[in-house]
Structure formats: structure tokens, C-alpha cells
Structure 1
């Protein structure tokens, strides 16, 4: 019995010694999960790391920063590098290494101190020489979601802080399927530039996505071209400007409706009552109509003719060639702001 007690006492002393002399850090922190990014969509239970902690989403979220929104539950500190976006668009990207394989979306810091993003998989080509494989990246921005619209909902809200709730992000994304080439043609730079150009023009047309219908009601009866064989069945004053591009005239409602499979000639009010329909009419004009210009705004952007050419296709001689330089500059200002939000450059030929 005495020997058993002595053995027990010896074991207790050894345990106490270990507790005293072992460093507290021996209990290692959890490994950091994928880094949080503002553009990603998270659902309940998804884990992301941010600022040295793992966070678990309680429900669906996008663009809400862990630690500042109730949707995230703190799972405690973590160690190790995060394979994802880190701190949501920080500048902590690895140095480029010649001959190291990179995949599309990788971001590196080059020897000139600038950042580049892989546009295509490559075996370590030089970013400033192989422009097919690399494009400049503005540090501090979030890459677009893979396979998705190049504008995230948080970026959209940043562009339009006072927008009318009618112009919803979900309405816009629901309309994208009607014209899959929009903001989805060419390099990532061109995709971002086209999205910014489109949104800058609709911002100008609607006062920052505030106005759904044309504000000058005196113009309403003027948009009925009675020479058309179908006339104006919804009424002479029914075809006033509506939606993001302010669609107007009976013949435009007829053409847009035919292209989209929606009877807008007889029911033009759909453009002011259905967000997705409104966005579709704007995309219809952008992708298919030259207006007073020589090409569609879509073609102007994907063929590098510049933002100025999109202005010409929308308002032509009313603004271009000295018609109204103030209005042109207003559109340019919005475009320059939006490309900055999207982390790209505006390109050339901004004015018309």
C-alpha cells in the first residue's frame, strides 16, 4: 500500500513539474483556413481566416468583413498562411519567381515593386514581358469571383451608395444571361473596363441609379413615332425614358421587346416595374445598338476603341464634338472612379 501511495505521489509531482516547465505555446493554435475575400459568397458553416483568426459564417454573406458584422462567429486565433485571399485584398502577395508554375488568378509582386495577376496558367513567365499571361493588378482590390460577374455586390454598392432599391444587384445579375458576352469577353482588364463603362453611363443617365423614369414629364408625348405600322398601342405618352439606359420611343420598346421575348410595345411599364427587365433593356441597347455612333458600346470596349466611343453610341452629337463637354466629363469622371474600384486602368480615348 505504501509503495502504491509513493508511486502516486511521484506521478503527481512529475505532472506538476511538466506543467511548470513546459511553455504555454506548446498548445498550438488552429491552422488558418482559406483567407476571407470580399467578393466571395459564404453560407452558414463556411470558415474563412481574417487578421489572424478563423471565422465561421452563421448564414449567407458577401462583402461583410469578419469582426465587423454579426454574421461572423470568431473561432479563435490561427497560425499559418492562408491559401485564399488573406485579409480581403491586402498587399501581402509573394514575390514573383522565374520558372515557378502559376495558375490563373495568382497575384505576385514583381521586382519593380508592382503587382501582377496571372491571366492564364504559365510556368513562371516574366510578368512585364508575357502580357498574354499576366496583367497589372492594383494592390488592395479584390479579384473578381471565378466564373462570375466582374463586379461584386459590395463593389456595386460602393459605386451607387444612394441608389434606388429598384436597381438591385440581383436584378442586374439575373439579366446577364440575356447577353453572356457582356463583361465576359477578352482579358480580365477588358472585362472590368466594359463593366465600368456600362455602369458609368447608366449612372449618368439615372443620376446614380436613383431615377427609374424620365423626370421631364413634358417630354412624354414626344416619344410616339406614329409613322411606325404598329403605332403606339399603349398610348401616345407611354414610351418615355425608363430604366438604367432610359429606354425611350415606341420603336425602341418594340425592338427591345422582340429581342428579349417580352411584349414591351404593349406593356412598356414592365421596364419600370421589373428590375431584371429594366437591366435587360439596358444590356440590349449596350450590346446590339449603335445609336448615333458607328458601333455598339460593347464592341467599342472589347475592341479597345475607348470609353469615349460608348458616349458617342449613346448620345452622339448632343454631347460629343463639343456638343456638351460638361456632360461628357461627368461620364468620364464616373468611369475613372469605377475602374479604380474594380482595380484596373481606364485605357485611352476617354472622350468623344
Structure 2
């Protein structure tokens, strides 16, 4: 499969959502009930420049002939910065959480899982973690690509979006960009749990704690997304060496090996307040979350130690103020408990958006 993930050369006449390669494969736990394809397709980065990306499309073997199957674009949470962390590879290896996917397949939906910018595709550098614009493009373009597969016979059904943590951020960005970027998609609603709405605020909160490596990962991801800016000037010499190592690692290894505060690797203790970083973080915060005109379902664990519960309430208040049709559910659990317990509830809520 190495050749499949090799970066293709894009031409000026390529279009977002165009399928470049497909490969039918198998997910061992789902092999009896589904068909699975890995895709290389065209999308756009944070500056809307064309990029190749990868993803997975899973369909029930028995389709409903009376109507097109709804398509769920499911955006996973942060897996790491290195290419081997791609969900498309984790799914085949049996290392990806399947509960959300199975809950959707049981409804008769097709499921599309984007890898994210620079995950999967080799030779393009590290994943652009926290780059919301790129994540939104990649999710929408996978919906386009899935509906262009011959197996869909050119018939387009309704689309819903779902993500948790950084995946929830990607789903909300996709919903925000949908009207201008992919208006032809029949997007019916979005579900997002434990959403990172303000990366700078989150990094400041988790710095010096057990999740501080996520701050380093965010700095590396956004510096890759905005590689035309000198964002890594904040690193010390040790920081540059640490960054080079970290760019290839999974989330688990990052959290284990990089527990120092972000300032340990930087010239200043608060690199998020560097002027160039303030510009980038402002771009990544300037969304239309409060102006969404599709239904939104938010959920969060009251004991979430990674993404504070209060940030979710602030987002909910902004959405309500913007007159978004909002549903809310909270769980008496931490970050991981909530992710595990919420799958059926979320799919049931998304189903109301489709009916």
C-alpha cells in the first residue's frame, strides 16, 4: 500500500472533491456487512491551495433501493502528527474506534472518514493539527469524493457531519464553510462534542499539565499549515530538535514524552502571545459558528479535564445568540468516557436532522 499513499502531482485543472485513486479494502470487524474503499482525492489547505488527501468510505453491503443512503462524514479526534497515525491506516489495522461508525452503518448510512491534511499521504510533512479551515475543506471534499464513487451511481443523498474534540472542530468548520465552499452538498446538520473553539485559550489552560504536549502539537500543526510564515522562530535550539522528533509521533507518544510546558521549548513562556502567532490564531478563531443556518447538536462531559466544560457552554451561548437551531446534551463523565458513551445518542440526534 506504500504506492497508494505516495503524493500525486496535482494539475491546475484538478478540482476539490475529485477522486485520484481508489482501493477497495477490508475492515476485519466489518467485513461481513460492509464494503470499504480508501481514496486519494483533491482538497484545499488553509490558504485554499489544492492539496492531495486521503480518506475512507464505508457502505453497508445491503443498500436501501428506495432512496439514496445518507452520508455521514465522521471526523476522528487527534491521532498524532505522523503519517502512520492516519485513520485510514488505523481502521485497516483494527486500531480505530468503531462504535460511531457502526452506529451509523446500522442505520443504513454510508460513512466517510477523512484522514486530515498530511496524514496518510507521504512526503508532505506533519499533520496540520488545529488548522480548522483545512480540516473543514478536507471533510467537505471527502463528501464530494464519496458521492463521485461509481458505487453511488451519481446519486447524491443528504449529508451530516460529526466529530469529537479536534474532530468536532473540523465538523463545525466544515459546516461553517459549506455555504461558500461546497453549496451543492445537501448538508442537513452537524454534531460536535468537546469542541476546541479557541486554541490559544485551550493551550494556556492545559499548559504545565498532563496534556501540555497538545500545545506543542498545535504549535507544530499550525506552523505547518501556515508554513509561509516564520512561526517556528519562537523555538529555542532544543525546541527545534524536539519539534523535528515530535512531527512523526502518535498522540500517545507525544503525551508520554513531551510533558513539559510549552515555554520549555520556546524563547518565551507564552508563545501564543507572539505577534505572528496572534495573527494565525485569530484566523483560526474567526469562524461563523454563531451564524450557522443548519441544526447543530453539541455535547460535552461535565468532568472533561482536557477541554473545559465552560468553553462548551460559551460556544452554545454564541450559537443560540446567532439563532442556530441547537440541541445540547451533557454527560457525567470525563473526556474519554463521554466519547465512548455518546455514539448512539449522537446518531439518533443526527437522524432527526435527516427526517
Q: Which has the larger radius of gyration?
A: 1
Select the structure that is richer in helix: 2
* TM-score, normalised by the number of residues in structure 1: 0.20
Higher relative contact order (CA 8 A, sep 6+): 2
* TM-score, normalised by the number of residues in structure 2: 0.20
